[in-house]
Structure 1
């Protein structure tokens, strides 16, 4: 099962999504017998790569936010002591 195939949500995989959707249109019966399976495998790999890129970006952003929060807590502690 794959996520909804919306091009704006998956810009990295847009080309493969279009090919996959075209395959389903061109082969309405064959899609049930493996006609589009190679494209489905490529699409799954692309989604995994896309998710890894997003995960890394989110992790980097969370490190920055945690550091900013730590700095704010230090400043609050120092102003509270004086």
Structure 2
């Protein structure tokens, strides 16, 4: 299952989101026969890549924040 898809939030995967929405709006038969499955699989892979990149960026930011916290604490300990 993919997360709730919001236009603009998943910018790189927007074309796949649009294609899946079009496939689903074509009616029940395409969904039941698996016509939308390839698009959904591509979308899942795209969303996974975005998530991996986002978590990597967040981890780097967290490391930088942690360095700053350690630096401030070491300055406080030296003063005291």
TM-score, shorter chain, exceeding 0.5: yes
Contact 1:20 1:40 (C-alpha < 8 Å) held by counterparts: yes
- Which residue of the partner structure matches residue 60 of structure 1? 60
Equivalent pairs, count = 80
- Which residue of the partner structure matches residue 37 of structure 2? 37
d(CA) in 1 for partners of 2:35 and 2:12?
23
Instruction: Report the RMSD for the aligned CA atoms in angstroms.
Output: 1.0
TM-score (norm 1): 0.90
Please tell me whether residue 46 in structure 1 is matched to residue 51 in structure 2.
no
Gap runs ≥5 in structure 2: none
Contact 1:27 1:35 (C-alpha < 8 Å) held by counterparts: no
Contact 1:13 1:47 (C-alpha < 8 Å) held by counterparts: yes
TM-score (norm 2): 0.93
